[in-house]
Structure 1
Amino acid sequence: MSRPRTRRLALTAAVITTGVSLTACGDSSKDGANTPTASASSTTAPKGVVTTETAKRLVDAYEKVNNQANKTRNAKLLSTVESGQLHELSKAEYKEWLSWSAKDQKEYGTAFYYRQRKYLIPPADKATWFAVKATSTYDAKYQTLLIFDKVGSIYKMVFSAYTEGKLPEVSLDRDGHATVADASTKVGTLAPDQLGAAYEDFFETGGKKKGTAFAPTESSKESTKIYQDRNSVNGRWADKTFFAADPTFTKAYALKLTSGDVLAVFPTAHTSEQILKPAYRSSFLITPADEEAVYNAQRRVVVTDEFQGQALAELSTAKKARVLGIRYRMVDSR
C-alpha cells in the first residue's frame, strides 16, 4: 500500500557534475456502525456486488497480507491482494525503500489497519467493484477511499486515494447500495476518466491551459509549485520539462454524492526530462538523485523520470472540479 506521506510533491534534486558534484547545482474489528443494510421491507431487493461481510473479509485479508509483504518488500506476495494503479505505486516503493532514511524504512514496516470503515457497495447489476471509506492507523487525519475490483476471479484493491479532512457523503439507494456514476459521462466540463490527462497540465504549464478546469486546492497548488520550481536547482546548466503520460491502468471509478455531485477516483501519470544545455554537454553530466539511482545510477546528459499516480476529485455541474488528494511515485528513471 502507498502511504499518504509518500506523495511526491517535491522536486527530485539531481546534481550536475564534472566528475565532482557541484554544490550549486491489525486489528480491524472496530468497523463503523454506519454500514448500509438492505431494506427490510422487500424480499426482492437487488443484491450488492458483494455482501458487507464479504467486503469486511476482503479488507481484513488485505491488511494482513499487505503488512506481511511490507516487512520484506515482497511484491509477489502483495500482488495476491493488490493490483491496478495502486500496485504500480507499491512496487515502486519497494524498489526505492533502500534510498529512504532509517526512520522511514522502520515506519514502512510497521503494521497498519483501517478503522472507521463504511462499506459502499453498488448493486451487482451496476458495477464489478465496491468502495470502502476509512481512516488508516498510518495517520488518522487522512480519510481514504479504497476501491476493490474483480481481477480475474479475485477481488483485489486497485486504488487507495487519500484526502485530508472528511470525504463527502456518498448517495445510497433505498436498498442501502452505493449509487454509481458513469466514469465516461461529463459532470460539468470533464468526465471522471478525463481528469488525469487534464490534471497533468499543472506540471506541463503550471495549470494555464487544461488546468483552468480545476478549482484551486492544496493538491493543485503543490503541483503548480513543482512546475514553477522545476529549474530552481540546476537551471543554470539544465532545463527540466514535464510531459503528460499514459497511466499504466486507465480505469476510473465514480460514485454519486448526496449533494448531487460526483466523487471520482482516477489514474494519472507524467514524465520529467532534465537535459543539459548545449554549452555544457561536452563537459558536464547529471548525477541522479538517490531515488533515481535505484533505477539507473549512471551519470548522464539527460535524466528522464517516469511517475505514475492516483487521485481523488469531486465533480460538479455548478462549479469547477476539485482535486481532493493526489499521489505519485517514480516508477522508472533512465
Structure 2
Amino acid sequence: MPHRSRRTAPTVRPATLLAAASLALVAGCSSSSDPASSSSDPKTTEAAKTAAEKPLIGVGEANQVVDAYQKLNNQANAQRSLTLMAKAEDGAMLAADKGYFTQLPELDPKQVASNLAPFAYVQRSFFIPPASAKADWFLMKARFADLKGGKPAAPSSTYTRFMVFRHTGGGWRAVAAAGFSGAEQKDIPALAVDRQGLASVAAPTTRIGRTAPADLAGLVADLYATGGDKRVLAKTRERDDAIGVWADRGEHLDAHAYATYAVARPHVGATYAMRTADGGALVLSDSAVDETVLAKDVNSWVTLGKSLQPFVKHGSARMSQVVQHDLQSQLGVVSPSGGTAVYAIDQQTTGIDATPMPAT
C-alpha cells in the first residue's frame, strides 16, 4: 500500500470504511464499591475476578465487525460514496477520507481505480483489552489481499496494517490506521497479552521512560515545522522523509514566494496505545500541519495544482497566499527506555484557504 506524501498527490485507498452494524459491548465487572465485589466469600471473589477478565469484545464478534467493515468499504469505494463513508468511520480516518473523496474528480482515474479496488483483510490478529480496563476500542493487525472473483488473492507481503476499531454511539467505527512497510516490518513489536490472551492498554499521557504515547503526535508535526529533534525520534525512513520535506521547503518557488510549515491543531488529537511485551507501547495517533505559501510581491502569485483545486470554490485563479491543511495519521513505537520511533506517516490534505490576488 503506497504512502501518502506531501510531495505527491495523495493516492492511498481510503481503506477506512466500517460497516454501521452495531455490536453490543460486553458488560464489565462490578465496581469495587459493589457489596458483592467486596464479599469475603471465596466463590463470590473468584466470580468477580472472572468477570473482570471478560474481553471488551469476543474474537468472533471482532471478526464480524471487520467482515462488515470490508463489505461496506468496498460498496462505498465502488459507488464513490461519501454518505456510506460517513456512516462507517469516525475520527481522523473520517476526516482523511473525506479529503481524499473531495479530490477524486481531479485525480488520475487509473490510480483511483487501483486504490479503490475491492480488497480484504486477511491473516488477522486481534488485541482486545479486558472489559475491566474501561477502554472502548480494540486493535487489529492484518494484511491486505485483493479480491478476485469475490475471494481474497495472495496477501501482500510488503505491508502490515494496524487498525483501531472504537465503539461509539452508533456502533463500531474505524478510527485510526497505519502500518509497517517493507524491511521495517522486522521492527513490528510483540504486543503484551495475559494468560487469557487479553491485551493491555497504555495510558496516553503516562510516561514510558522519557516519552508518553501522546507525545508522538507533536514529535511528528514538529518534523515538518522545524526539522525535529533527532535526539528524540530514532532514525527511520519516515522520520528522514519528513525532515527532507522541511529541508526542501520553498525550493521550487524560485525566490518568488515564501513557504513555511506550522504545527496545527489536530482534527481529533486521539492517541491509541497498546503495551508491548517488553514494556513499551505501540501507538497510533493523528496530528496536523499547515503549509503556507505567500507571494513575495505583486508580480508573483500562487496557483493550485490540479489535485488541490476541488478544495477551493473559486478555482485556480492567481492567489497571493495559500494555506494547505494536512492531516497526519502516524504509527510509532515507544521503547521501555522512552526512545520513540515513527514507522508510518500517512498524510492527506483536508482543506485549502486561498486568498485571491487583489483586483488591479
Instruction: Report how many aligned residue pairs link the two structures.
Output: 297
**Is 1:76 matched with 2:83?**
yes
Distance 1:235 1:11, change over 3 A: farther
Residues 70 and 108 of structure 1 are in contact (CA less than 8 Å); yes or no, is this contact kept in structure 2? no
Look up the SS of the partner of 2:191 in the other structure. coil
Structure 2 residue aligned with 1:145: 162
| Unaligned 5+ runs, structure 1 | 13-41
Look up the SS of the partner of 1:118 in the other structure. strand
**Residue number among 223, 228, 245 corresponding to 2:242 in the alignment:** 223
Q: Return the offset for 1:9.
A: 4.1
**Residue number among 74, 84, 93 corresponding to 1:86 in the alignment:** 93
Deviation per CA, 1:271-316, whole angstroms, max 9, x where unpaired?
0001111xxx322221111222121223201110001121111002
Amino acid at match of 2:284: V
Deviation per CA, 1:223-266, whole angstroms, max 9, x where unpaired?
01111111111141011100001111122111111122111111
Residues 11 and 226 of structure 1 are in contact (CA less than 8 Å); yes or no, is this contact kept in structure 2? no
**Is 1:201 matched with 2:222?**
yes
Structure 2 residue aligned with 1:192: 213
> Residues 117-156 of structure 1 correspond to what in structure 2 (within 5 A)?
117-126=124-133, 127-137=135-145, 139-156=156-173
Q: Return the offset for 1:53.
A: 0.8
Provide the C-alpha distance between the structure 2 equivalents of 1:105 and 1:316, rounded to a whole number of angstroms. Answer: 37
**Is 1:291 matched with 2:312?**
no
Provide the C-alpha distance between the structure 2 equivalents of 1:89 and 1:74, rounded to a whole number of angstroms. Answer: 14
Residues 204 and 272 of structure 2 are in contact (CA less than 8 Å); yes or no, is this contact kept in structure 1? yes
Q: Return the offset for 1:89.
A: 1.0
Amino acid at match of 1:222: D
User: What is the Cα-based RMSD across aligned positions, in Å?
Assistant: 1.8
Q: TM-score if structure 2 supplies the norm length?
A: 0.79
Provide the C-alpha distance between the structure 1 equivalents of 2:82 and 2:157, rounded to a whole number of angstroms. Answer: 26
Structure 2 residue aligned with 1:302: 321
Q: Return the offset for 1:102.
A: 2.5
Q: Return the offset for 1:6.
A: 4.5
Structure 2 residue aligned with 1:65: 72
Q: TM-score if structure 1 supplies the norm length?
A: 0.84
Structure 1 residue aligned with 2:283: 264
Look up the SS of the partner of 2:326 in the other structure. strand
Structure 2 residue aligned with 1:17: none
Q: Return the offset for 1:269.
A: 0.6
Residues 196 and 268 of structure 1 are in contact (CA less than 8 Å); yes or no, is this contact kept in structure 2? yes
> Residues 1-334 of structure 1 correspond to what in structure 2 (within 5 A)?
4-10=1-7, 44=50, 46-126=53-133, 127-137=135-145, 139-164=156-181, 165-166=185-186, 167-208=188-229, 212-277=231-296, 281-296=297-312, 297=315, 298-318=317-337, 320-334=339-353
Look up the SS of the partner of 1:174 in the other structure. coil
Q: Return the offset for 1:11.
A: 6.2
Residues 219 and 228 of structure 2 are in contact (CA less than 8 Å); yes or no, is this contact kept in structure 1? no
Residues 208 and 338 of structure 2 are in contact (CA less than 8 Å); yes or no, is this contact kept in structure 1? no
Look up the SS of the partner of 1:322 in the other structure. strand
Larger RCO (alpha carbons 8 Å, 6+ apart):
1
Deviation per CA, 1:123-142, whole angstroms, max 9, x where unpaired?
01211110111011264411
Provide the C-alpha distance between the structure 1 equivalents of 2:285 and 2:209, rounded to a whole number of angstroms. Answer: 17
Residues 254 and 262 of structure 1 are in contact (CA less than 8 Å); yes or no, is this contact kept in structure 2? yes
Amino acid at match of 1:191: A
Q: Which has the larger radius of gyration?
A: 2
Amino acid at match of 1:133: K
Provide the C-alpha distance between the structure 2 equivalents of 1:317 and 1:133, rounded to a whole number of angstroms. Answer: 22
Look up the SS of the partner of 1:80 in the other structure. helix
Q: Return the offset for 1:91.
A: 1.0
Q: Return the offset for 1:193.
A: 1.4
Provide the C-alpha distance between the structure 2 equivalents of 1:73 and 1:190, rounded to a whole number of angstroms. Answer: 40
Q: Return the offset for 1:204.
A: 1.1
